[in-house]
Amino acid sequence: MHARIGWVLAAFALLGAAGAVAGDLVPVSHTDNGRRIFLHGTTASGRVVQNSHGMEGAGCAMCHGEDGRGGMMHGIPAPNITFSNLTDPNGHEHEFSNRRHPAFTRETIKVAVVAGLDPAGNTLNEEMPRWIGLNGADLEDVIDYLQALSKPHRRPSPGPERM
């Protein structure tokens, strides 16, 4: 009897450990890469992401805000880049830079981040760095992070307009 309980507990412990490996560690390192690039401009392996501004140690958050919901840099508005906002089916009109564009997709977000073009082909203001040091996997990770930022639970008290 006693021995059996011991076996069951041991099995639970093993399942728990396996769950941690399959359910936590792998996706966390993947998300971690996107989060680090977003916050600090460095990859999970510590590589500084090369960009047209020559910035080191600063990521998207510096201009677009830690929550990705937009900010100001040198008097130029840095838009809300949460995934749900970028992919809004109505697209956006950016009065300041006189740009109007349809909804972004994952592919056109990559073009904006690396080459500085919006989905209508408008050139983004130079204040937006061209992130030439991001490889395909890094870009997927950053976009996944923009998706995570879209979730309303990131905000302690989301207003109805955040839904």
The contact set with ligand HEC (CB under 6 A) reads 37, 58-60, 62-64, 73, 76, 78-79, 81, 86, 92, 94, 97, 99, 101, 109, 112-113, 118, 124-125, 127-129, 131, 142
Tell me the closest approach of the beta carbon of residue 1 to ligand HEC, in angstroms. Answer: 59
**Greatest CA separation found in the chain?**
76
Q: Which is nearer to ligand HEC, 35 or 63 (CB)?
A: 63
User: Measured on CA atoms in the order 85, 41, 119, 95, is the torsion positive or negative?
Assistant: positive
Tell me the closest approach of the beta carbon of residue 154 to ligand HEC, in angstroms. Answer: 16
Q: Does residue 113 contact residue 139 with C-beta atoms inside 8 Å?
A: yes
Tell me the closest approach of the beta carbon of residue 69 to ligand HEC, in angstroms. Answer: 12
Q: Which is nearer to ligand HEC, 17 or 65 (CB)?
A: 65
Dist CA 4 CA 143 (whole Å): 48
Q: Does residue 93 contact residue 66 with C-beta atoms inside 8 Å?
A: no
Q: Which is nearer to ligand HEC, 70 or 162 (CB)?
A: 70
Q: Which is nearer to ligand HEC, 5 or 40 (CB)?
A: 40
Q: Which is nearer to ligand HEC, 7 or 96 (CB)?
A: 96
* Cross-strand bridge partners of residue 70: none
* Closest by Cα among 114, 112, 113, 83 to 99: 112
Tell me the closest approach of the beta carbon of residue 9 to ligand HEC, in angstroms. Answer: 46
> What 3-state DSSP class applies to 3?
helix
154: tokens are 């990131």
8-state DSSP, 79 = P
Tell me the closest approach of the beta carbon of residue 5 to ligand HEC, in angstroms. Answer: 52
